[in-house]
Structure 1
Amino acid sequence: MKGLFHRSIENKEKIVIVYIDSKNNVTQRYVRVISMDDDSIVAFCFWRKKVRTFKFENILSAGPIRRKLGA
């Protein structure tokens, strides 16, 4: 998962994460990672339209965004 975050930083790629917030709600967020440390990532959240901090312990899954292929 950390490799995906590094790639998001280096290539400015948007990724999707599934996250548990402070009220124990599970949310799906589209983010672009700005920086990373041992405990968390700092990312621009496209849903909130703000820079947010996400703790690793609360990230359930992360992955690249699948691009739709047109006919």
Structure 2
Amino acid sequence: MKEQLIKAMQRNQFLNMMYMAKDGNMSKRRIKIIKIVGNSFQAYCFTRQAKRTFMIDSVLAVVPVIPKEREIVC
């Protein structure tokens, strides 16, 4: 998982992330990773509209957000 997060940070990608909080609640977040330190990382969370710190071990899944290209049909 850490390798995926490092690649996303290097590529400046937005991610959709499934995360399990300490209390056991799961949440879906859209994030952009700012930095990775040890077993945690700091990211801007678009869901909460704030910088947040996440534990790598609590990340259940990440999927890169692929921007949709809009095509004009004449």
Q: Classify the TM-score, shorter chain.
A: 0.7 to 0.9
Deviation at 1:69, TM superposition (A): 5.4
Residue equivalent to 2:32: 32
Deviations 1:22-65 (A, max 9, x none): 22111111000000022111000000001000101111111212
Verify the 8 A CA contact 1:34 1:42 in the aligned structure 2.
yes
Residue number in structure 2 paired with 1:60: 60
Greater Cα radius of gyration, structure 1 or 2: 2
The answer (yes or no) to whether the contact 1:17–1:60 under 8 Å persists in 2 is yes
State percent identity of aligned pairs.
Answer: 24
The 10-residue stretch of structure 1 (38-47 or 57-66) with the greater mean CA deviation from structure 2:
57-66
Aligned with 2:10: secondary structure? helix
Contact 1:20 1:59 survives alignment (8 Å): yes
Contact 2:20 2:59 in 1 (8 A): yes
User: In structure 2, the residue corresponding to 1:22 is in which secondary structure?
Assistant: coil
Kindly report the root-mean-square deviation, in angstroms, between the aligned alpha carbons of the 2 structures.
1.7
Corresponding residue pairs, total: 71
Conserved 8 A contact 1:4-1:63: no
Secondary structure of the corresponding residue to residue 15 of structure 1? strand
* Runs of 5+ consecutive residues of structure 2 not aligned to the other structure: none
Structure 1, gaps ≥5 residues long: none
